Amino acid sequence: MSLDRKYDLIAKAIDANKRKFIERLREAVAIQSVSAEPEHRQDVIKMLDWKLESLGAITENVPLGKQTLPNGMTLTLPPGLFATLGNDPKKKTLLIYGHLDNGKLYGRGATDDKGPIMAWLNAIEMFHSTKVDIPVNIKFCLEGMEESGSLGLEEALNARKNTWLSDVDFTCISDNYWLGTSKPCITYGLRGVSYFSIEITGSNQDLHSGTYGGNVFEPLADLMWMLAQLTDLDGTILIDGIYDLVSKVTVEERKLYEAIDFDQDIMLERKEVIYLQEQCRRTIGAKKLSRSSKSELLMNIWRYPSLSIHGIEGAFDGQGAKTVIPAKVIGKFSIRLVPNMDGETVEKLVIKYLDKIWQQRNSPNSYRSYQNHTGRYWLTDFKHPHYQCGVRAIKRGIEGAFDGQGAKTVIPAKVIGKFSIRLVPNMDGETVEKLVIKYLDKIWQQRNSPNSYRSYQNHTGRYWLTDFKHPHYQCGVRAIKRVFGTTPDYTREGCSIPIALTFEELTGNNVMLLPIGAGDDMAHSQNEKINIRNYIEGTKMLAAYLLELGSI
């Protein structure tokens, strides 16, 4: 049977099974598998294990060791799934790599990388169903930790260099994307990545900003300052020595960028540079790109390093407003590596730079920085006959995007920073709001960023001050003396209780705060508590207070 005939049979079979394949992918993406979220790491491996076995593959779950998280917790890594389909010594052997962590069908991992893996399995199934012989032996190397540095995988593969990997002739990875939306591509180079964390610790527990704000050096403020020193507005990396590692652009390489053909279907008579900018902007929803020419845009994606800030662990990230001062925060960022940047040298430069600017910050908080993982860049010979197989396959026809623990390389599309100001006499919320918004607008103009910006007041709680010599207060004093045997102090609080003023205004009468809890109860923190003594004796105090009220 000719190659064309074999292809026609398989293509028709794939068309006939379209609904089944879509449902299969739907089931796969429904399985949560973000590598930075430990509780779901094993799930997809189990699903693919039985699928490969049903296709006749011999599978092996390979232990990849353990991972120690920044908080000291140790987790067992999800096993690697190594599978072998066919062992004909007369055939070449293809190794297919895919990863199962991270993810239009909409769902996590639909394109990166569950979709491509399922496509491999679907294709193999169609060979079987049409009784067309698979012309190569196939080996699969599947893992669940690629988005977190492929922990343990390199060691496992090194151990099998002279055994399981010894007969591999080719390796294929389907883990990237076309440049546009309609024209396929073959990729011959990848940037690497080095992922870093900046950890800053202040107090030994989260604090209430009303009680401690203004008297502590806040870790989150330190971290935000540190992160702001990593790049300038255009994304230029400010770390000393980074660009000295980057190889120079050759004349031949520049010609490659200039010759790249873009999607003619949506160019709409634009010049290529305008098209590329418009395509990127429409795809991701950005207001402006940092580079203007076609070659510069492509080189900044492919062959120059970049630094991206990905998230902050330990800070409040929910909706609404919360006034906690986090005790410990971890900022996460990565640098994309290009020839000739090696992870070890980059790590030294980054840590040295972070140490330097931390000294400039002169904060009393504890600080440490470390590299989570590194992945080397890759560049190969696209003129190799192996690549020409891919070229011919494309010519044949094709019918047609972390607040947890661990590491994640996403660039968030939208971020919201939250802060509070404690008001004192004679500050009114409306005036403070105007001053804050005016200041934020001013410094945003100084930032000169093309991103969209909006600042707003979530809520305001007015300060409150009343007459503690009022007879009402004396009832409280007497109640405390009765139960605790002492005269109370007259205090003011740094926290906000807006309803106090509301009650006073609405009733026209005195309002008193009569606390029960102790000063170390740590309101709003993870370890919030109340002492038994305060709880029981406080109950008595309230009873005494009620009695005293009857006397006025």
Q: pLDDT per residue over 333-388, tens digit each?
A: 988 888 888 888 999 999 999 999 999 999 999 999 988 877 666 667 767 776 66
Q: How far is CA 324 from CA 274, 387, 464, in A?
A: 46, 55, 21
Catalytic residues: 101, 146
Residue 504 pLDDT level (bands cut at 50, 70, 90): confident
User: Which two structure tokens, joined as six digits, stand for 21?
Assistant: 């394949």
Distance of alpha carbon 213 from alpha carbon 210, whole angstroms? 6
The pLDDT score that the predictor gives to residue 2 is 86
The pLDDT score that the predictor gives to residue 147 is 58
**201 φ, ψ (degrees, to nearest 5):** -125, 135
Q: How far is CA 520 from CA 430, 486, 487, 491, 507, in A?
A: 33, 20, 21, 16, 33
Distance of alpha carbon 488 from alpha carbon 490, whole angstroms? 7
In a 3-state reduction of DSSP, which class is residue 58?
A: strand
Sign of the dihedral defined by the CA atoms of residues 123, 124, 130, 133, in that order: positive
Identify the helix (H) or strand (E) that includes residue 311.
strand 306-313
Residue 409 pLDDT level (bands cut at 50, 70, 90): low
Note if the bond before 340 is cis, omega within 30 degrees. yes
Sequence spans of domains, the chain: 3-175, 190-375, 421-457, 471-549
pLDDT of 468 over the 50 cut? yes
Residue, of 43 and 541, whose pLDDT is higher: 541
Q: How far is CA 30 from CA 44, 205, 545, in A?
A: 10, 37, 58
Fold entry, domain 3-175: Aminopeptidase (3.40.630)
Residue 102 pLDDT level (bands cut at 50, 70, 90): very low
Q: Chain-wide mean pLDDT for the chain?
A: 77
Express each pLDDT in 224-281 by its tens digit. 999 999 999 889 999 999 999 998 888 887 887 777 764 433 333 333 444 455 555 5
Distance of alpha carbon 118 from alpha carbon 140, whole angstroms? 12
Residue 284 pLDDT level (bands cut at 50, 70, 90): low
Pick the CATH number of 190-375 from 1.10.1740.10, 3.30.420.40, 3.40.50.800, 3.30.70.360: 3.30.70.360
Q: What is the mean pLDDT of residues 8-30?
A: 79
Residue, of 500 and 165, whose pLDDT is higher: 165
**237 φ, ψ (degrees, to nearest 5):** -75, 130
Beta strand extents in 392-446 (DSSP E only): none
The pLDDT score that the predictor gives to residue 408 is 63
pLDDT of 122 over the 60 cut? yes
Strand 93-99 to strand 324-325: parallel, antiparallel, or no bridges (unpaired)?
A: unpaired
Reported pTM: 0.67
